Structure 1
Amino acid sequence: MKSYRSNQVFLFIYWLLLFISGKTLFLFYHAAKTAILSVSEIARIFFYGLRLDMSMAAYLSIFPFLLLFFSVIPDKLTRKLVNGYAVLCTFFIALLQTVDLHLYSIWGYKLDATPLQYLNTPTEMIASSSGAPLFLLFLLFILQLAAGLFLYFRFFQPRFSGHKITRKKALVSFLWLIILVLPLRGGWQQIPINQSDVYFSENAFANHSAINVPWNVFYSIIKKDYDGLNPYTFMAPEIAQKTVSDLYQKPNAPSAKILKTAKSNIIFIILESFTANLVGSVGGEKGVTPEIDKLAEEGYLFRNFYASGDRSEKGLVALLSGYPVQTTTSIIKIPRKTEKLPHLAHSLKKAGYQTSYYYGGELAFANMKSYVLMAGYDKITGKADFPTRDYNSKWGVHDHVLFQRVSKDLKEQKQPFFTTIFTLSSHEPYDVPMKTRFAGDDEANKFRNSMHYTDKAVGNFIEEAKKQPWWQNTLIVLVADHGHTLPNYVDYDSKAKFHIPLILTGGALAKTGITDTTIASQTDLAYSLLNQLHLPNQEFKWSKDIFNPAEKPFAFYIFNDGFGFVTDKGSFGFDNISKQVVQKKGQFTEKDINTGKAYLQTSFEDYLKK
């Protein structure tokens, strides 16, 4: 029988074994990525990751160590409390490590507090994950839970029945509590441990594999509000501000005129997850989006347009408010901040436009409803406004149903109008009501089929629109809310993931058959449209005019705690955790890196002050 004073050591080792087995499972689950790593890199994943594992094990040990120290509590009650705590923690560790297995495939970064943003809309959250291999994941969860509990009750549970409490044993227990401080903060160094301490490779997957999932989740929860302090202070504020101001220095050259009339109707179609990798007209696979490619050929196409972030709610704010995306949080989560943002709908409404917003899903998802309401749309249509018989999608109604409603309503719409349409069928789980165009039940082909379906719905909508009397005075904007890692699982921080289409069409378009190679971003669009309409746009200070060739060409995007910067000469990604460049293509200089840092610093400071 184990002695009383060894109980704490055995408990600590138990937590470590759970985390090490979780890392091993992660590497096997992502076997294709693991196969690229050398044996040395795999060994270092466990070696470098051990510090975070020990830190989390120390946090988990505090409660049982305290119980074992206050030994005046009867043995029977102490055993029940410690064992119950161990079972509960084992359950959540197994759950978090299992969820991380699949979400990493989608997001490209380790599980953090991001899913908590969607707890107020559980139906949509479940729908989003329904494309996952649920049976396999459930088996892996049960395997981790069962193996963990077997090990615990067979080898690691405290056994101290009938012991006598002595000062010596109490002192040893107290010393174990004190010793916990060392692994808890990751060592004696001045700054407590963080994710960067386990980064060791230029391979992002190797670094991510070393991160302890439970530690990462709780750390991101604790740090989410930033206490009003900017964690991205790279340089003196005045230098950062000057650097960003230079990017937006307005040229004397005039912008190209793309509209026939100054007060055109605008239909703003936001396409869920429409990555450029599957849109042939912008260099992606051919045949997935034939309708949109046709519109690009006869309209105005931007080939080098980039999303500002990687989530729908982030893209929404970037597109409609011209506001930069934040790293591990989103301004849309805080209504008091979004109330201070400009909005394309608000600007157009002041100019006499009738405004409307259409979405086939739950408006409250990711807190988008508060943002849309504060924009002041005259009419907002969501899932609840459709008959339940039309709820064919797990998210809500399919895109063809949504477009049919918009077509019907626009026949009675007073001009000029601004109509925003947000599609949803190309979101996970990619369930669409169409005959399979691309064979195969894998995620990539399901995604291709969903984009192909939405493309057809868009094409039908445009054909119907061309028959309407308002067509000749209407500009239609087709743009994605964000990109995607599919179909080829591009890196989560690469510019390929953020490359999206922007296509302008409609009878109001003065120039057609145009392909523009200007490098631009979602944050530029609202400002540029208002400029074409000769309406005030000074509120959109994080924007440049994409129709003015004299503007400085660049795009800035955010991935999880890092940023990317694209210029006409090259691009790079900078990881804030490892504090190094992790993606690079073409040419870039130290000045470009500092410009990206200044942009992140200044934009995040602006977010904190909202």
Structure 2
Amino acid sequence: MNTTRFAFQARYFLFWLLFFVVTKLLFLLYQWSDTTSLPLSIIAQVFGYGLRLDASATAYVCLLPFALLTLGSLVGPAFPQERLVRGFSAVAGIVLSFLSVADLALYRAWGFRLDATPLQYLDTPGEMAASAASAPLLLLTALFVALLVVGWLLYKGLVGRLAPLPLHVGRGRAGLIGLLYMLLLIVPLRGGVQQIPINQSDVYFAPQLFANHAAVNVPWNVMNSLFLQNAGPNPYHFMPDTTAARLVAALYRPAATPLPTPTLLRTPRPNVLFIILESFTAKLVGSLGGEAGVTPTLDSLSRTGVRFSHIYAAGDRSQKGLVALLSGYPNQPTTSIIKYPRKTERLPQLVGTLRAAGYSSHYYYGGELAFANMKSYLVAGGYDALTERADFKPAEQNSKWGAHDHVLFQRILTDLERQRQPFFVTAFTLSSHEPFDVPMRPRFPGTKEASLFRNSVYYTDHVLGQFLHAARQQPWWNNTLVVLVADHGHPQPGNTPNYAPKKFHIPLVITGGALLPAAQGRTIDVIGSQTDVAATLLGQLGLSAAPYSFSRDLLRPAARSFAFYCFTDGFGLLTPQNMVLYDNVGRRVIHKTPGTTASQVQLGQAYEQVSFEDFLRK
């Protein structure tokens, strides 16, 4: 077709975008039995939500052709730019068509979209061939050829030939225009101009898992998983698997003479208000031995609720804390399971367990849930509703991250008047995240990071107190249990080393109108982790915590009291008697308390080995 020289790149981009839309349609048709279970509105949204990820994949594919066209404009007719672009397009079309068709069969067998998992089987081609033996190879081959034909027709009809440069346009100007096209690719490549680059969370929109899977762009998913590859073998293999499993199992063995789990609640099925406090470190909580006066609300609640004095974060990032708290699942040293939707879909979540017990649910966050792939994790969990940054008015988005915590708490307070009981409502604060720009007069002087951090923690604690004061006036309060816990600690104040236990020490307080008067003011001194919150809560609700295999009830004495956490490629293991910090890269102990034996080092290694092996197998 005839086209102007400078429309070529726009048409080329559109060609690949339409090609990915065609592959999405092919997927829905091939998985027809699943597709027919979806309402038409959801099917339409598969294309709508998936378009951003399709555009991102398109931008990646266009990078090299756009560079070739820019170079050709600068060099002149001697450079075979059109032939190179057409050759690249042919190769890319074959590769992307093959991936798309392979995904059709693998999804039916595996239940997740194609990623880097097949690379695990390259060294066992016999097993790989056996796995594919039942696939309808003739049909898949026909679909592969058909997709190539459709791609060729699209290219011929939409892209066409590259027109020569207009006589009045010099090479320099043409090269500049080509460079501008390349720079414009940044926007679709990132998925837009938002703060956080696009990821799978942006296409997870529906309660139907198949709809979310259908919206994913397969080539994008494959490349993303290649960069996030953690398929094995287990790099943290220190001992025979049977030895590691035996040592870890001993940590969860009940005490020799187990006592009955104490009941803290006045009712067996209270509402649960689960509040996750951004970066709340024990170093700023006076009731935990930290600085006085920074968290007066939390300190007061520690005196009137149930305080857990020795709780440690499982990791050092929000997304890691989220999985540890809501799924009772350990962290990984150099990655996070939340980056892998296929894996997180296999995790238990509190929201799912409570939904089966008749609870309604809602998740609140003032920022963007796409951050660190949190949204895909939460959607897979099955929350009835998600409220995030886009759901607040522009005037309410008064923080760099979104809506400040007083806005968040006011929204929750208003919504809870209509929330069906019993409810499980999760709220995640954000104002105490960098850059600590809270909307109140400074309580603590200074402009250094530690002072700004103190002020942000004080602000969140203050508005939390206002929220709970108003909540006590509500009819649902007397039947509500409130769980207050941090997502992780913080190096400030004091620039605590990233591996030190002090950085991971966090508050955990249980309060609310559903507490028995006899439970108020109680302190639990057992050493525990974020991963233990799930089993502890479920134990009070009389629900089974069996799916949460790495979680233990802190109110039910066990044979061993411990906390395990991960820092960047290392771990810490704390017991009442000892502490050991281990560096995986150097394969050495960073620090240990006097009296720590080699068996405790081995115990930490065993826990890391077993938990990471479980991550690999998810």
TM beyond 0.5: yes
Aligned equivalents of 1:316, 1:603: Cα separation in 2: 17
Q: Hey, what's the Cα distance between the residues in 2 that align with 1:254 and 1:351?
A: 23
Cross-structure match for 1:241: 245
Partner Cα separation in structure 1 for residue 231 and residue 313 of structure 2: 28
Tell me if structure 2 keeps the 8 A contact 1:426–1:454.
yes
Tell me: CA distance 1:259–1:425, structure 2 relative to 1, closer, same or farther (3 Å).
same
After superposition, give the CA deviation of every residue in 1:341-382 in whole Å (9 maximum; x if it has no partner).
Answer: 000000000100011100000010000000010110111100
Superposed CA offset, 1:179-227 (max 9, x none): xxxxxxxxxxxxxxxxxxxxxxxxxxxxxxxxxxxxxxxxxx9885244
Q: Aligned partners of 2:542 and 2:303: how far apart in 1?
A: 27
Distance 1:417 1:329, change over 3 A: same
Q: 2:271 aligns with which of 253, 265, 268?
A: 265
Q: Offset at 1:586? A: 5.3
Task: Kindly indicate whether residue 364 of structure 2 is the aligned counterpart of residue 358 of structure 1.
Answer: yes
For this pair of structures, how many residues does the alignment match? 402
The equivalent of 2:597 in structure 1 is 589
How far is the alpha carbon of 1:577 from its aligned partner? Answer: 1.0
Q: CA deviation at 1:228?
A: 2.3
Note if contact 1:121-1:364 (Cα within 8 Å) is conserved in structure 2.
no
Question: Which residue of 298, 303, 325 corresponds with 1:297?
Answer: 303
1:539 and 1:353, CA in 2 relative to 1: closer, same or farther beyond 3 A?
Answer: same
Structure 2: gaps (5+ residues): 1-188, 198-224
What residue is the counterpart of 2:535 in the other structure? 527
- Listed as ranges, the gaps of 5+ residues in structure 1 are 1-117, 127-220
1:544 aligns with 2:552: yes
| Greater Cα offset, 242-251 or 280-289 | 242-251
| Residue among 388, 395, 399 paired with 1:382 | 388
CA distance in 2, matches of 1:495, 1:119: 36
- Cα distance 1:581–1:449, how it changes in 2: closer, same or farther (>3 A)? same
Q: Which amino acid aligns with 2:501?
A: K
Structure 1 residues 259 and 586, CA gap change in structure 2 (3 angstroms): farther
Contact persistence 2:254–2:557 (CA under 8 A): no
How far does the alpha carbon of each residue in 1:369-419 deviate from its partner, in whole angstroms, 9 at most, with x for none? 000101101111000110111110000000000000000011111211100
Asked whether the equivalents of residues 360 and 396 of structure 1 are also in contact (C-alpha less than 8 Å), the reply is: yes
* Letter of the 2:233 counterpart: L
Question: How far 1:536 sits from its partner (Å)?
Answer: 1.8
The 1-side partners of 2:355 and 2:283 are apart by 35
SS in 2 for 1:411: coil
Q: For 2:484, what is the secondary structure of its paired residue? A: strand
Aligned ranges for residues 213-252 of structure 1 at < 5 Å? Answer: 224-251=228-255, 252=258
SS of residue paired to 1:358: strand
Q: Measure, in 2, the Cα distance between the counterparts of 1:243 and 1:523.
A: 18
- How far the C-alpha of 1:551 sits from its partner, in A, is 4.7
The match for 2:474 among 468, 473, 492 is 468
Partner residue in 2 for 1:30: none
5 Å-filtered alignment, 1:36-435, equals 123-124=194-195, 224-251=228-255, 252-435=258-441
Q: Distance in 2 between matches of 1:233 and 1:347?
A: 33
2: distance between equivalents of 1:448 and 1:591? 39
Task: Determine the structure 2 residue equivalent to 1:95.
Answer: none
Whether the 8 Å contact between 1:124 and 1:394 is mirrored in structure 2 is no
Deviation string 1:493-532 (CA, Å, 9 cap, x unpaired) is 0000100000111011121011211101000111111111
What secondary structure does 1:228 align onto? Answer: coil
Q: Quote the residue 2:576 is aligned against.
A: 568
Give distance in 2, aligned partners of 1:585 and 1:546: 24
Q: Deviations over 1:56-115 (max 9, x none)?
A: xxxxxxxxxxxxxxxxxxxxxxxxxxxxxxxxxxxxxxxxxxxxxxxxxxxxxxxxxxxx
Q: Could you say which residue in structure 2 is the equivalent of 1:518?
A: 526
CA deviation after TM superposition for structure 1 residue 579, in Å: 1.3
Match of 2:562 among 529, 554, 557: 554
Cα-to-partner distance string for 1:311-370 (whole Å, 9 max, x where unaligned): 000000000000000010110000000000000000000100011100000010000000
Q: Secondary structure in 2 aligned to 1:345?
A: helix
Contact preservation (8 Å) 2:232, 2:616:
yes
| Corresponding residue number in structure 2 for 1:497 | 503
Does the alignment pair 1:578 with 2:582? no
- Deviation (angstroms), 1:122: 7.2
Hey, what's the Cα distance between the residues in 2 that align with 1:444 and 1:259?
A: 38
Corresponding residue of 1:603: 611
Q: CA RMSD in A?
A: 2.1
Q: Do 2:252 and 2:558's aligned partners in 1 also have CA atoms closer than 8 Å?
A: no
TM-score, structure 1 length as denominator? 0.64
Q: What is the rounded CA distance, in whole Å, between the counterparts of 1:502 and 1:223 in structure 2?
A: 35
TM norm structure 2: 0.63
CA distance in 1, matches of 2:196, 2:490: 18
Residues 306 and 498, structure 1, Cα contact 8 Å, conserved in 2: yes
- Assess if the C-alpha contact under 8 Å between 1:562 and 1:574 holds in 2: yes
Work out the CA distance in 2 between the residues paired with 1:238 and 1:585: 28
Q: Residue type of the partner of 1:475?
A: L
Offset at residue 121 of structure 1 (A): 8.8
| AA of the residue aligned to 1:555 | A
In the alignment, structure 1 residue 443 sits paired with structure 2 residue 443? no
Partners of 1:493 and 1:583 within 8 A in 2: no
Q: Which amino acid is the alignment partner of residue 614 of structure 2?
A: D
Is this contact kept in 1: 2:253–2:558, CA < 8 A? Answer: no
Distance 1:393 1:253 in 2: 48
Structure 1 stretches (4+) deviating beyond 6 angstroms? 118-122
